[in-house]
């Protein structure tokens, strides 16, 4: 009798060892285990389940009551897919481990749909052209860019679009420089074969003033200051000449004399600062034309020494101007490419990754080791100083004298730069679209969203 009891006990233990893991698997998978169909249920011992009104499926090989509908504690198929990461969730989003078609993982994205840090780094924009873009500026309704073959682009609500395809004179002359009035309502541009014109933002009106004063050489740079209809314009060419212009009472350009601030070297950079115009040439020269004092209530004609009379249509002599004076740079180590003037400092972009900073109060120049490559453009606001260079390089100055190279998603040379200005950056004038823009070879356009900016700006390790 004892022997039979021992044998029965051993069989019961062996049976429990087989059944209990199977029951656990069945609860995890929500599917019946093969062992349950052939062996009696441990809880039932061939008796009806106390919790069920019907025999257990394992006793009669019939379907389990749990199979007829989901139990409150069981996972539905959709929940199972979500837990395993193999399907969409009930709200339509993908599982956290799902591999997307772009190779990304949604778990790495921030809540606004951008990759972490994307709003603070430079990102490629969809460009409508593969032609080289030479310059970019902020207008009242967004950034404008100019380039090869007379291109003029605008960034609106639908992204970048082509406004002009063949330039202001419909002659496909490359536009090399672009500038805007203080209110951003008029955009001026200049380029090859004397190409010159402006675009009125408000009404979309285009005006062609190519070859002013019969000057048909390439305009390398342009600078504008003042509000629309009251602006002063300076244009410089490859022969080291600068042409000045104001607008008369009828909002028509009145051309001044053509002068040479230096010795005739190409002037690739012009800018309008709060105290006057600055220019640089490829021989290491920097020049300054002070802003004239305006008498109270003066109009455009009164502000100009020509008293509103148009200049002769014939080219004038190009003797060094009495208004322009050379301010540096002594012992310049490199050729200059661009200049930018702010309230307290003037910056020059040069070759070999070298820039110069000028303090107008102390009349002092300081060389700056920015990085590598030829610096092509440099811009500064109260909170931001950026330089772009050949090879797709972007540099940013921190609060000290150090410069950091930022991550840039291109190796194309960057030639033009425009920084967003907030109301904190300007006492008067235009607070622009909150995006920094860099343009360059191959039609590349890079943007940096300034609505979520940080000091790091995507510093390259």
CATH code for the domain in which residue 257 is found: 2.130.10.10
User: Is 200 inside any structural domain?
Assistant: yes
- 32 pLDDT above the threshold of 70: no
- Total count of residues recorded for the chain: 461
Same domain? For 269 and 193 the reply is yes
**Please, which pLDDT band fits residue 317 given cuts at 50, 70 and 90?**
very low
For residue 321, pLDDT over 90 is answered with no
Tell me, yes or no, whether 297 and 219 share the same domain: yes
What value does the mean pLDDT of the chain take?
Answer: 77
- Which residue, of 61, 77, 92, is where some domain finishes? 61
pLDDT of residue 161: 98
Q: For residue 206, is it within any domain?
A: yes
Proportion of the chain above pLDDT 70, given as a percent: 63
d(CA 265, CA 381): 29
Of the three residues 25, 44, 61, the one that is the final residue of a domain is: 61
For residues 57 and 127, state if they share a domain: no
How far apart are the C-alpha atoms of 333 and 422, rounded to whole Å?
A: 35
Note the Cα 251 to chain centre separation in Å: 34
The answer, yes or no, to whether residue 452 has pLDDT greater than 60, is: yes
At 58, the pLDDT band (50, 70, 90 cuts) reads very low
Q: Is residue 398 part of a domain?
A: yes
User: 290 pLDDT band (50/70/90 cuts)?
Assistant: very high
- CA-derived radius of gyration, the chain: 36
Any domain includes 72: no
The backbone torsions φ and ψ at residue 127, rounded to the nearest 5 degrees and listed phi first, read -100, 140
The number of distinct structural domains making up the chain is: 2
Residue 92 structure tokens: 């339509």
Residue 83 counted as domain residue: no
Segment 238-280, tens digit of pLDDT: 999 999 999 999 999 999 999 999 989 999 999 999 999 999 9
Q: How far apart are CA 273 and CA 291, in angstroms?
A: 9
At 453 the pLDDT is: 58
Cα gap 260→272, rounded to integer Å: 17
- What mean pLDDT comes out for the span 409-430? 80
Q: Are residues 273 and 364 in the same domain?
A: yes
Is the pLDDT at 425 greater than 60? The verdict is no
280 membership: H or E segment, kind and range: strand 276-280
pLDDT band at 309 (very low <50, low <70, confident <90, very high): very low
Q: Which domain holds residue 29?
A: 1-61
DSSP 215-274: --SPEEEEEEESSTTS-EEEEEETTS-EEEEEE-TTS-EEEEEEE-SSSS----EEEEET
Neighbours of 7 (CB within 10 A): 10
- Report whether 34 contacts 26 (CB < 8 A): no
By the 8 A CB rule, do 23 and 15 touch? Answer: no
For residue 372, pLDDT beyond 80:
yes
Give the predicted TM-score (pTM) of the model.
0.70
Distance CA 153, CA 33 (A): 67
CA–CA separation, 447 vs 260, rounded Å? 36
Domain-located, residue 247: yes
Alpha-carbon distances, residue 355 vs 319, 366, 369, 382, 390 (angstroms): 29, 8, 7, 18, 14
Q: Where a domain ends, among 61, 84, 110?
A: 61
Report the pLDDT averaged over residues 159-188.
97
Q: What is the model's pLDDT at position 108?
A: 29
DSSP tag of 211? S
Q: Are residues 131 and 267 in the same domain?
A: yes
**Residues 386, 284 share a domain:** yes
Banded pLDDT at 428 (limits 50, 70, 90): low
On whether residue 108 sits in a domain, the answer given is no
Give a yes or no: residue 347 inside a domain. Answer: yes
Side-chain half-sphere CA neighbours of 347 within 13 A: 22
């Amino acid at each position: 009798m004892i022997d039979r009891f021992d044998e029965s006990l051993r069989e019961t233990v062996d049976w429990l060892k087989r059944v209990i893991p199977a029951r656990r698997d069945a609860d995890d998978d929500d599917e019946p285990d093969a062992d349950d169909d052939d062996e009696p249920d441990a809880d039932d011992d061939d008796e009806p389940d106390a919790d069920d009104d019907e025999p257990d499926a394992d006793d009669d090989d019939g379907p389990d009551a749990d199979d007829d509908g989901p139990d409150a504690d069981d996972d539905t198929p959709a929940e199972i897919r979500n837990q395993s990461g193999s399907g969409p969730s009930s709200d339509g989003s993908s599982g956290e481990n799902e591999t997307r078609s772009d190779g990304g993982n949604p778990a790495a994205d921030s809540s606004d749909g951008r990759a972490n840090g994307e709003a603070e780094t430079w990102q490629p924009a969809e460009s409508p052209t593969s032609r080289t873009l030479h310059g970019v500026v902020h207008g009242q309704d967004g950034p404008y860019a100019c380039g090869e073959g007379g291109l003029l682009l605008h960034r609106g609500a639908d992204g970048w679009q082509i406004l002009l395809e063949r330039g202001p004179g419909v002659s496909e002359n490359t536009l090399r420089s672009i500038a805007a009035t203080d209110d951003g309502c008029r955009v001026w541009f200049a380029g090859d074969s004397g190409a010159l014109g402006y675009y009125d933002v408000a009404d979309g009106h285009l005006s062609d003033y190519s070859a002013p004063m019969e000057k048909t050489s390439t305009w390398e740079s342009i600078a504008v200051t003042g509000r629309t209809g009251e602006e002063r314009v300076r244009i410089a060419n490859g022969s080291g000449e600068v042409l000045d212009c104001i607008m008369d009472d009828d909002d028509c350009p009145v051309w001044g004399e053509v002068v040479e601030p230096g010795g005739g070297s190409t002037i690739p950079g012009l800018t309008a600062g709060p105290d006057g115009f600055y220019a640089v040439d490829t021989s290491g020269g920097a020049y300054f034309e002070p802003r004239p004092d305006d008498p109270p209530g003066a109009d455009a004609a009164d502000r100009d020494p020509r008293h509103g009379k148009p200049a002769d249509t014939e080219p004038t002599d190009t003797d060094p101007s009495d208004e322009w004076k050379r301010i540096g740079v002594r012992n310049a180590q490199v050729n200059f490419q661009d200049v930018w003037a702010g309230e307290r400092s003037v910056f020059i972009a040069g070759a070999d990754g070298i820039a110069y900073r000028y303090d107008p109060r102390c009349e002092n120049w300081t060389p700056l080791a920015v990085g590598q490559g030829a610096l092509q453009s440099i811009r500064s606001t109260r909170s931001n100083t950026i330089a772009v260079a050949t090879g797709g390089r972007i540099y940013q100055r921190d609060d000290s004298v150090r410069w950091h190279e930022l991550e840039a998603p291109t190796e194309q040379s960057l030639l033009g730069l425009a920084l967003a200005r907030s109301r904190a950056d300007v006492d008067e004038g235009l607070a622009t679209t909150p995006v920094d823009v860099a343009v360059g070879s191959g039609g590349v356009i890079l943007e940096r969203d300034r609505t979520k900016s940080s000091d790091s700006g995507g510093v390259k390790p």
